[in-house]
Chain A
């Protein structure tokens, strides 16, 4: 029991700190690629700290849903973070539901986020909420299909078990099914985290914004919780991607001697994936909203091919 708590506390700490840093890294790297100086890696952490100390403005039209949303969004993100193996193959919490619980807990956060956006009563919120639910409705099946492929290969939907199996067959990632599933999941990741071909995290233009439109009415500590939560969600999804497909260096247990190289490997993999995301963001333009389904259809087809190739090869 104490051991579980210690593991959970350790991973929670890592989540809370690494998530904003990862966002900062992506932002800085992107700026450098675009010949800008960029705000520095620490900026998202500074933003959270600053927002937490500010006062809030609550829209007068809002109900308790508006106030509950930041908590739900943040706590589901944290819980999901504890369910995913980050530096060791065994996640601190192994609960009922496995990877499906991860996806549906993320959906729970999104459900409340979309409600909170509608609760303020302005059309921007509705706009963001409608687009978010639309995109997630088509991104989720693509993501599930890719995950099913991995689950079928590992013969389990439990994340720790999936990680254990993929560590034991470490060259498996070269199998066509795994590569196809990875590509499908990567596209779904771009959609779920609001990255450039789908949503532009750096804009407040009402014609294009999705996530920003939903959080428009939030300020102060509520906004801090939401932004923090959003960066944790991003970290969790990226962790899911790197650790299921490239399980190298995952520590087999929670002893310090194994954890330190595990952490180093984990951060390295994460930074590489972040680099890939940045490359995609810099070299692509944002798609029109109604072109996004085509992109996600590609992800879906990749997932389907992955599934079929599991028993062809």
Chain B
């Protein structure tokens, strides 16, 4: 029955994940055994899944895997089409690195922590994610969606001794379910309108729906998937939940879990509906822009390293949504080639973000583990004590700041090209939006660079800022290996971006019927006129840029060898205005670093400042000064708090009819009964 090996490999991978999970549960008493076996198995499973998805993706074929459930009427059907395989490939690469990393990282869990249970939910999360990306019908999709959310909830509240983490877990749980409710309604509506729950049925019927129905579905789907994607204003769970989980889980959540939302939107927009309504693309472009800007602005002032990374995930999700929104708008303008190019940019950025965000979370996790703090102000000097971890973090920081020759630059370049190309996609005034969106992207990119200079410069360089930081030690070799895989992927994807175009092309072939990745060779000019030619620019491969970077750095190195080697170097204290010795107290702080930006964007942050000074003789000689400054989380205080307050007030008014008197309750039941009887006889 199975003719294509990728189907068997896919099944095998899932079975390995399942076996690993069950083993973790059974061997819960033997912490080390459970850890070593489970994470080795998941690494193996991830490699198998990756192989399956890569071969399927390269062949460009769609195949179906059916796993009988043993219950009649229900079969678990997975469909391996290029879009599914692409997301599963990203998952597999990240899962491979995270599993290797976890071999060492989970050793550091406290003695009372249930390692076996952690392993089990880790495997459930992997299975859930794989199934979400490849489910062939709405029922399996929702089941996978829920098990994924449940596993993620466990991982987020794993360190439940800390009240903050419990709250983060509950918040995630509530938001996630609010999103699922929207999805459930949307799928039921789509199911009734199209007469089935298979994705292929949706595909067949979606395009024929009336615009009103399409619009309603779209809003529901965007709301439901947007929660997972970290879209504003439903992002509030993300900066709380992602840092709360152990760092290997945070990496998986930030790199892959948020992409389930993006996957859903792509699936709905291009597979179910075919040509999304114009306003929906515009909506996503606008929301994406706002999400990107807001995410990075909050990341910049965040003192907690992992929380900062979580905010930056929101930023990147916004960038991805912008590219997706642009692709949708191009598709509704009828510019299929440009839409395909914009979607390729979007997909490539999804992959790249998965890689470098996982890398950043893993290296941050190693530092947090070694120094025992997440606060940037208490780190510092890590680069001497943990040279490799610091180098890996630097690679991630360069990649996420879109600096050449790493992978972030290639995908952001593609997004710029598609946005600029968008200027010619239509003659209406809306085309001004695209370059403006490009400028917004430039702003977020420059802010991201500032943000990561701050994170690396304050957190890793110069002197240790606390006693804990000065005792840091290099991470376990398996942790370094996990990070190394991802760092190598950042470099490889940056250098070989053009080879990747064929892979991306098979996804656009499925959705749009054209594969500009493969056709790109025919266009040699680098013009913006159409996506086709813009892709041609990629044939002047990113590799050439990387090679040029290398060659050109040979020159100063030559200078170094010939000239500077002989120079005497004296090591001395850094200049600090003639004070006796530089200490960590003289260093610039993370807060001071981002202060200018906080002041420039004060209208956005609305900081609250309070200055209290007491004087005795003159106002020039205060006896005591008390200063407070706070930036309150905007959405929580200004949107959610009033909403919750209003809801609670309304709920309070129901208390009047629920006074606690049993006579009253009996009366209610009696009245209800009478009313029901009247109603039933009337009909």
Nearest-CB distance from A96 to chain B (Å)? 5
Stretch at the interface among B128-136, B147-155, B444-452: B444-452
Given contacts A59-B572, A122-B574, A123-B576, contact A157 B435 (CB under 8 A): no
Task: Flag if B592 contacts A126 (CB, 8 Å).
Answer: yes
- State in angstroms the CA–CA spacing of A117 and B574 once bound together: 11
A158 within 8 A of B: yes
Nearest-CB distance from A237 to chain B (Å)? 16
Task: Flag if B453 contacts A133 (CB, 8 Å).
Answer: yes
- State in angstroms the CA–CA spacing of A75 and B599 once bound together: 34
Contacts of A125 in B (CB 8 A): 574, 588
A77-115 vs B, CB cutoff 8 Å, 1 = contact: the mask equals 011001000000000011111101100110110110011
Stretch at the interface among B241-249, B320-328, B549-557: B549-557
Given contacts A55-B569, A60-B571, A60-B572, contact A156 B527 (CB under 8 A): yes
Nearest-CB distance from A2 to chain B (Å)? 15
Given contacts A63-B461, A130-B588, A137-B449, contact A122 B439 (CB under 8 A): no
Nearest-CB distance from B341 to chain A (Å)? 14
Contacts of A74 in B (CB 8 A): 556
A152 within 8 A of B: yes
Nearest-CB distance from B526 to chain A (Å)? 4
- State in angstroms the CA–CA spacing of A141 and B442 once bound together: 5
A13 within 8 A of B: no
- State in angstroms the CA–CA spacing of A129 and B463 once bound together: 17
Closest residue to B542 on the A side, CB-wise? A96
Task: Flag if A100 contacts B416 (CB, 8 Å).
Answer: yes
Q: Which B539-575 residues have C-beta < 8 A from chain A?
A: 540-542, 544-545, 548-549, 552-553, 555-557, 560, 563-564, 567-575
Task: Flag if A93 contacts B587 (CB, 8 Å).
Answer: no
Stretch at the interface among A17-25, A143-151, A242-250, A263-271: A143-151
Given contacts A126-B588, A155-B528, contact A96 B540 (CB under 8 A): yes
Stretch at the interface among B88-96, B167-175, B348-356, B396-404: B396-404
Contacts of A57 in B (CB 8 A): 569-572
Contacts of B527 in A (CB 8 A): 155-156, 161
Give me the interface of B with A, judged by CB distance under 8 Å: 383-384, 394, 398, 401-404, 409, 413, 416-417, 420, 423-424, 431-432, 435-436, 438-440, 442-443, 445-447, 449-450, 452-454, 456-458, 461-463, 525-529, 537-538, 540-542, 544-545, 548-549, 552-553, 555-557, 560, 563-564, 567-576, 582, 584, 586-589, 592-597, 599-600
Known: A55-B568, A126-B593, A140-B442. 19 other contacts (CB 8 A): A58-B572, A60-B574, A94-B540, A97-B404, A97-B409, A114-B453, A115-B453, A120-B574, A121-B582, A126-B458, A130-B454, A134-B596, A148-B439, A152-B423, A155-B527, A156-B525, A156-B526, A217-B574, A289-B596
Give me the interface of A with B, judged by CB distance under 8 Å: 52, 54-65, 70-72, 74-76, 78-79, 82, 93-98, 100-101, 104-105, 107-108, 110-111, 114-115, 117-127, 129-131, 133-134, 136-138, 140-141, 143-145, 148-149, 151-152, 155-158, 161, 216-217, 220-221, 225, 289-290, 293, 300, 303-304, 307-308, 311
A and B contact pairs by CB, cutoff 8 A, 29 listed: A52-B563, A57-B569, A61-B462, A70-B556, A75-B549, A98-B526, A111-B401, A115-B453, A115-B456, A118-B462, A121-B584, A121-B587, A124-B576, A127-B588, A129-B457, A130-B593, A130-B595, A133-B450, A133-B453, A134-B597, A145-B439, A145-B442, A152-B435, A155-B528, A156-B525, A156-B528, A157-B420, A290-B596, A290-B600
